[in-house]
Structures are given as C-alpha cells and as structure tokens.
Structure 1
Amino acid sequence: MPQMLPARFTELGLPFQRLLWSDALMLLALMVGQVAVPWWIAQAGGAADLAVYGVVLSAVSFITMPLLSPLGDRYPKRWLIAGALAAYALAACGTAALASWGHYALAALIALQSVPMLAMAVLSPAAASMVAELVPAQQLTRAIGVQQSAQSMGRLIGPAIGGAVLAAAGTAAALWLNGGLLIAAALLATRLPSQAIHAPASCRWWADLRAGLKANWAIPLERGWITVNFLSWIFLYPALAMLVPLKVQSLGLSAAWLGACEAALSLGMLVGSLGASEWWIRRQGRYATRIGSAVIQGLALAVAGWTTWPWLLVPAFAVAGLTNSAATLVGLTHRMLARPLAFRARMSAGSMMTSQVAGTLGPALAGVALAHWPVSTVYGVFALLGGFGALGLALIPGFRAFMALDNDAVNGWYQRAHPEAFVETPPRRSA
C-alpha cells in the first residue's frame, strides 16, 4: 500500500507511511461509529439520552486519560495502539449485537462505549507523540500535515459510508461495519515500527502521572494555552458532536444528511491538510493563523446552527473543517516539538484531559440549554462562544513570540526555558 502514495507521503519514510495507513483506517472506523451511535440514540432516546451519553463518556475519558497516559512513555507504542484498537473492536461488536437484537438500553450502551474511552486514553497520547519520533524536527510540520491528510481521508469517507449504510441497511449494519473496520485497524497497527523508550526504566506510576501534570501547569505558556482551549471546547465540542444530529433531525432530514455534514467537515480538514493550512500559515504567520482560524470556525458553525436551508449546512461544515485543520496544524507542531521526548505522551494526555473535562461540561450545559431554547438558538450561541473564546490566546504572555519560532528553535524549548518543570520527584522509600 505505501507504494500507492504520492511522493510527499513516501519521502517521509516507510515507518511513517505505516502510521498513516493505521491512522486512516482507524479514523474511517471511528467516523462510521460516530455517525451510527449518536443517530441511534437520537432516534430511540432523544436529546436527553444523547446529553447523558455525552456527559458520562466524557467523564470516563477524563478519569482514564491521566491514569493511563504514563503507558505511552514507558511501553512500546506499537503494542499499546494495537491492543487499544482490539479492545475498541470488541466493544463495537457488542454494540452491534445490541442493535441486531433490537435492544436499546442506554445503560448497556454507555457501558459498552466506555471501553473505547479506556482504549483511546491509551491510544491517543501514544499516537499523538509517535509522529514526532519518526521524522526529523525540520519535517514535523509537513509530516503532521500529511498525517492530517490521511486522517481526513478516513473522516471524509467514514461519515459518507456510515450515512449510506444507515439509510440503506439500518443501524445494526452500520455498527457491524464499524466493528469490522476496527478489527482491520488493530491488525494493521501490529506492523507499526517499534520505538525506543525515553522515560526511565523504573516503573513509578504515580510519579509519572504527577510529573506530566506538573509540567503542563508549571509552564505559563502551556498553562494559558490549555486554559483557553478548555473554555473554548466547552462550547465547540457540542457544536461538532451532539448538536449535529439534533440539528439535522430538527430540519426533518434523513441520516444521509448527517453523513453529508460529517463528510463536509472532513473534506474541509482534508483540503487544509493537503496544503491550504500551510499556505495560510505562510501568508499570515502562525500567530494570526491560530487565532483567526478558530474564530472563523466558530462563525461557520454558527451559520450551520442558525440556518433553515439544508444545503447551507454542507458548505458551513466544510469551512469549519478547513479552519479546524489550520488551527490544529499550527498549534500541534509547536507544542509537540517544545515538549521533551520523555514527557510527550504524558503532557499530551494532560492537555487531552482538560479537553475531556470540557467535553463533559459542554454536553451537560447544552442539555440544560435545550430544555429552554430550540436547537438553532443553542447551536448558534455555543458556536460563537467557542470561536471567539480563542481570542484569549492573544492574552497569554509570550504566545506571539513562541509562535514566531521556527521548528529548530522550538525543539525542546519548554525544557530550556523552564527546566524546573521537568524535575521529577524521586520515589519514596519505605523505612
């Protein structure tokens, strides 16, 4: 398969190509599930069940993300990713079995879907930090852009397939497809390259956990960045997740429209990752791109929330996807390079953990708001608050100067600027 890729993919090396294929297949499976499961809940349980589902799963992820994040710095990432995908596949097949029996039970569904949250708590930090170990620092921006392209292909095709299968064969068929794709992704992940372990050999779970969280909090720039992202994500997460199927249903549209909206979002991300985001960064600089793209994303989602014209949903989500790609690329590259190798998985997990807290609060807040106002009002207001919340980045001391650094200068910058943040507390010894 790697030989089928264009030159911009292949010149980054065979190990990186395998990671690309694994990411693409995983995202393909993930997006099929993200179309099928929320649609089933929205149809069978309504907005209240969908809000409960989102809150509980975000809470599970919030708890497990920091607890399992030290694994990414201590064990081979290849087997962590493959094992996590295998557990995810088993849970997906269990969910498909429930749908095949025609048995909708929110408690059982939450229990099964909590397994993927555990799996992603292991997989996400490992996968997020792995790409920085496979390519030189000078090529990381390009590599992440290429990785986004592969992921976006999965995000693009997944919703289209999921929506089509839902419309043609029903929820059970879409969920079985999700399980089968995850099994294939797990098998493919076993062929990922084996990486060196950069953390100390001794196993100190609690010390590892504290060291990662301490590093995130002790660096003012990282602390401010996490805080702004947290506040924005409270509102953006519902606008990109639970409110989408409710908006589609409020317009009397079919599941195919939900798939089209998700596919448009992924198409925008793909366009961004194939060069539009890099062009934007070259024209405007990293600082202006990071803030401007987040604000435009909020405006695009507000249009999707307020419109009563179905055909406007698709271009609105496409713009949101493009701007999301630009914001992710410009921020992820610098933050990943700035972190020391031995802390990348743990610090990534700390950042993801705060996103999970926001992902817990967001659906709960949206559920309360939906009890008083229509979907269009809640959607539009949440989108604007999430988008304009990114303006807080401009208030973080040193943010503009940090974004002006090139990849060589930013590599390891956190440890050079704040060595005290990475002094690990030695383990206590019994008397």
Structure 2
Amino acid sequence: MLASTVERLQEVGTAFRKLLLSDALTLLGLMVGQVALPWWIVKQGGALHLAQYGLTTGFAAFAAMPLLAPLGDRYPKNRLITAGLLAMAVAALLMTVLASLGQYHFLPLLLAGCLQVIALAVINPAVSSISSELVPPERLTDALSLQKTAQSLGRLLGPALAGLMLAVASIPITLGLHCALLLIAALYARHIPTHSIEHPKGYSLARWRRDLLAGLRASWQVPLERYWTLANFTSWLFLGPAVGMLVPIKVHALGLSGSWLGACEAALSAGMLIGTLGAAGWFMARFSRYQLRVGAGVAQGLTLALAGFTQSPWLLLPALFGCGLTNTILILVGMTHRMLARPLAFRSRMSAVAIMSGQLAGSLGPALAGVMLSQHSVAAVYVSFGLLGAAFATSLALVPGFKTFMNLDHNKVRDWYGKQYPEAFREPGGTSQTAEQTG
C-alpha cells in the first residue's frame, strides 16, 4: 500500500505535491485551532459564548461562500489560496496575542473567527477545483484520493497535536502553533502553479455580480447538478448531525469518558485515511462508479444508524470507522466526475454552490436534531437520522441520466455540462462561457 502511494505521488507531479503539502498543513493548523480556541472560550466565557461563536461564524461562512466564489473563476487559484491562508494566519495571530496577554475579550475573538471562515470561503472552492488544473483527467481520481489522504492526515493528527500542546504547554503556545502552521501552508500554496483566468481589465462590481448570478444560474439550470445538490442537501441534513453533534451526546449517554470521544473522532478519521490509502481503490476495481456512489451513500447512513443503536463502545468505534471509509468512497467516486463535467470557467462558482448547500444542511441539521432530542432518546434520534440519511442518499439513483453519466470515462465526461446544456453557461447577451471558449 505504501509503495503504491509513493508511486502515485510521483505520477501526479511536483505541482500537485505542493498542493498536497499545503492542504495537509492547512488542515493540521485548522484542527489545532478548532481544539485550542473552543477550549479557551469554554474556560473563560462558558457554553453561552461558545454557542454564540458557533452560530455567528456559521452564518458568516454561509453568507461568504457564494459571494466570494466568483473570484476563483477570475483570478489564479494559488493566489487566492495564499491570500486566504495569510488572512487566517493574521486572525490566528490576534488570538495568540490576546491569549499571551491573558486578555479574554469575546468580541475580538468573534471577529477573528469570522475573518477565518470568510477566508475559508475563498480557499475551499479554489482548493476543490484547482486539482483539475494540475493533473490530466485520467489521473484526477488518483489526485483527489491523495488530496483526501493529505486532508485526513491533517484531521487525524491536528486534534492529537493540540491536545498534547494543551497538556504540556499552554493555550497561547497552542494558538501560536495554529498561526505558524497556517503561515507555512501559505508559503507552499504560493508556489503552486495555476491556469486560472485573470480578468484583463480588473474586476468590477458589475462583473462580479454577473459572475455570481451566472454561477447560481448554471448550478440550477443543469438538471443533474441541481438534483445532485438537492440530494446531498437532504441526506446531509441528517448525516451531518450524526457525524457531528450526536457523537459526543452518544458518548455521554453511554457514560463514557472524554477519551472515548477522542477515540471516536480518531476512528472516523482513520476510516477516511484507510479509504484514501487503497481501500477505496479496491472497491472501485470491483464495482461501477454508479453502484459505488449510490451504495456508499446508503452504507454511510447504515453505519451511523448502527452507531446510534449500539450500547457497546467497542461497536461504536468500528461503526464510525465504517462511516469514514464509506464517506471517502462516496467523495472520490462522485467528485471526480462532477468536477470534470463543470466547465473550467465555472468550477469555483459551482463548487461553492455545492459547498454552501452542505453548510446550510450542516446548520439546519443540528437544530432539527436538538428539537428531536427534546422529545426522544439519543438512540432513537441517532438511528432515525442514520436511516433517513441512507434513504435520501438513494435519491440520486432516481435522477434521469445519472447512471449513464457516472459510467462515462474521464475523457468523455470532461466539460459534459457545457456540451449538454450550453444555454446554462451563456451570458445575458448570448456569449458562452464554457471551458473551450474561455481558453
């Protein structure tokens, strides 16, 4: 498995390896910050401040994602990623300075958190679409698998590193590490080449508004993209809480310690990591993309239903491991085709619409779970959410043309949206913005 990974790293090229390193460092830094900052807020401001922080930053992320997405289709993506990481590092530096001075002030921390999620609204669409510019279509599945591996490593090691730093050092030092990792990630991102189109005459407000509306219109007017987004939204409405807020509640309901919560998070990340290191490839060699995309979505929901049903912590861990594994298969099988099908000039904007939909589901899902928990037991809510997520995951199978699309090879699927629905990518005056016509 290791030899295969090394071989794949050599095949995707130097430029993509720089993206992988930047990605891994970004996730590592983010996870360190996502442990250290909430810990400081809870210790100094209590649960109310933490809830206010989560609600405000969540709204900022939801609003910023579609508004900033057009930038990724007009400016080089490496510059946008670098600028976003530098902005996040500045916010992390503010947190570090306040912590070093022993000054807990909630408003500056809230503003710093909002700056970070707004910067992520620039980074995420660019990161999710730049891969298709750095590797040829036939290598994109391998490239996305390696990218998922790098991100999983960051997610797996970040909380452990943060916990170690908090145990042996202090909150200011841990936040300082958060800042340093983001700066190093920006340094590597700066050297990633890109082929994005830069608007030759600057970028006016009117141009930005037209690009924004064009991206939203394209995502809606392409039937497959529209239904794909809706299917993901409905399934994630239930699966999101099942992999997020319901996990610590389940651990607490079983009377387990906080170390079990850490073990659960590690099991989830380990499943993702194993999937990217070869398990997903094993399934891809034996089943069609269509079978895997639908089957993995159903299996993910069933593993979470099992996590909700079990009363044994030793069964909870493999259930969450299975969730991580099926999530990786689901993403790798679907993301490659979906990314290639989008015209090059629309990839950042259409990615942002999909991400925004997930964020909205991720905000509404916990609220729905909270209402359900007031009436029913943790196990009942958890099992219901897992089963409902599995049921809605099957809705993609009902979308006309989805099976045919998923069974196309990478060369045929490239710019498939633009070829099948050219009217969705036309300017108001009639000019098409598809990949071939924008260079």
TM-score of the aligned structures, taking structure 1 as reference length:
0.89
Letter matched to residue 243 of structure 1: L
RMSD (Å), alpha carbons: 2.7
Partner of 2:295: 292
Partner of 1:128: 128
| Cα distance in 1 between the residues matched to 2:290 and 2:296 | 10
| Cα distance in 1 between the residues matched to 2:238 and 2:98 | 32
Partner of 1:413: 416
Q: Is the 8 A contact 1:166 1:255 kept in 2?
A: no
Residue 179 of structure 1 pairs with residue 179 of structure 2: yes
Residue 301 to residue 56, structure 1, CA distance change in 2 (3 Å): farther
Q: Secondary structure at the match of 1:70?
A: helix
| Cα distance in 1 between the residues matched to 2:109 and 2:239 | 24
**Superposition map of 1:296-311 within 5 A:** 296-311=299-314
State the 1:156 CA deviation. Answer: 1.9
Residue 382 to residue 162, structure 1, CA distance change in 2 (3 Å): farther
Per-residue CA deviation, residues 138-194 of structure 1 (Å, 9 max, x unaligned), is: 111111112112222212222322344345556555433322222221222222224
State the 1:260 CA deviation. Answer: 2.8
Per-residue CA deviation, residues 102-137 of structure 1 (Å, 9 max, x unaligned), is: 776766544332112101110011111100001111
Residue 396 of structure 1 pairs with residue 406 of structure 2: no
Letter matched to residue 372 of structure 2: A
Q: Is the 8 A contact 2:304 2:320 kept in 1?
A: yes
State the 1:425 CA deviation. Answer: 2.0
**Superposition map of 1:193-342 within 5 A:** 193-197=193-197, 203=203, 204-251=207-254, 253-342=256-345
Q: Is the 8 A contact 2:76 2:198 kept in 1?
A: no
State the 1:7 CA deviation. Answer: 2.1
Partner of 2:70: 70
Which one is further off, 408-417 or 265-274? Answer: 265-274
Q: Is the 8 A contact 1:51 1:367 kept in 2?
A: no
Q: Secondary structure at the match of 2:427?
A: coil
Residue 24 to residue 141, structure 1, CA distance change in 2 (3 Å): same
Residue 31 of structure 1 pairs with residue 31 of structure 2: yes
| Cα distance in 2 between the residues matched to 1:42 and 1:393 | 41
Residue 28 to residue 197, structure 1, CA distance change in 2 (3 Å): same
Structure with the larger RCO, 1 or 2 (CA within 8 Å, 6+ apart): 1
Which one is further off, 280-289 or 399-408? Answer: 280-289
State the 1:304 CA deviation. Answer: 3.0
Letter matched to residue 144 of structure 2: I
State the 1:200 CA deviation. Answer: 7.5
Letter matched to residue 322 of structure 1: L
Letter matched to residue 273 of structure 1: T
State the 1:273 CA deviation. Answer: 1.2
State the 1:259 CA deviation. Answer: 3.3
Letter matched to residue 92 of structure 1: A
Q: Is the 8 A contact 2:75 2:198 kept in 1?
A: no
State the 1:408 CA deviation. Answer: 0.8
State the 1:388 CA deviation. Answer: 2.6
Q: Secondary structure at the match of 1:397?
A: coil
Percent sequence identity is 53
| Cα distance in 2 between the residues matched to 1:46 and 1:25 | 30
Partner of 2:427: 424
Residue 129 to residue 41, structure 1, CA distance change in 2 (3 Å): same
Letter matched to residue 414 of structure 2: N
Residue 305 to residue 46, structure 1, CA distance change in 2 (3 Å): farther
Q: Is the 8 A contact 2:19 2:188 kept in 1?
A: no
Gaps of 5+ in 1: none
Q: Is the 8 A contact 2:85 2:183 kept in 1?
A: yes
Q: Is the 8 A contact 1:232 1:387 kept in 2?
A: yes
State the 1:380 CA deviation. Answer: 3.4
State the 1:381 CA deviation. Answer: 2.8
| Cα distance in 1 between the residues matched to 2:309 and 2:50 | 21
The counterpart of 1:358, out of the listed 354, 357, 361, is: 361
Residue 190 of structure 1 pairs with residue 190 of structure 2: yes
Per-residue CA deviation, residues 21-61 of structure 1 (Å, 9 max, x unaligned), is: 11111111122233444556677777776655444333221
Which one is further off, 319-328 or 140-149? Answer: 140-149
| Cα distance in 1 between the residues matched to 2:97 and 2:185 | 20
Partner of 1:386: 389
Residue 168 to residue 222, structure 1, CA distance change in 2 (3 Å): same
Q: Is the 8 A contact 1:40 1:171 kept in 2?
A: yes
Letter matched to residue 149 of structure 1: T
| Cα distance in 1 between the residues matched to 2:244 and 2:157 | 17
Q: Is the 8 A contact 1:163 1:260 kept in 2?
A: no
Q: Secondary structure at the match of 1:192?
A: coil
| Cα distance in 2 between the residues matched to 1:282 and 1:199 | 42
Partner of 2:16: 16
| Cα distance in 1 between the residues matched to 2:370 and 2:49 | 9
State the 1:286 CA deviation. Answer: 0.9
The counterpart of 2:350, out of the listed 333, 342, 347, is: 347
Gaps of 5+ in 2: 431-439
Partner of 2:435: none
Letter matched to residue 286 of structure 2: R
Q: Is the 8 A contact 1:163 1:256 kept in 2?
A: no
State the 1:416 CA deviation. Answer: 0.7
| Cα distance in 2 between the residues matched to 1:94 and 1:149 | 31
State the 1:375 CA deviation. Answer: 4.1
Letter matched to residue 33 of structure 1: G
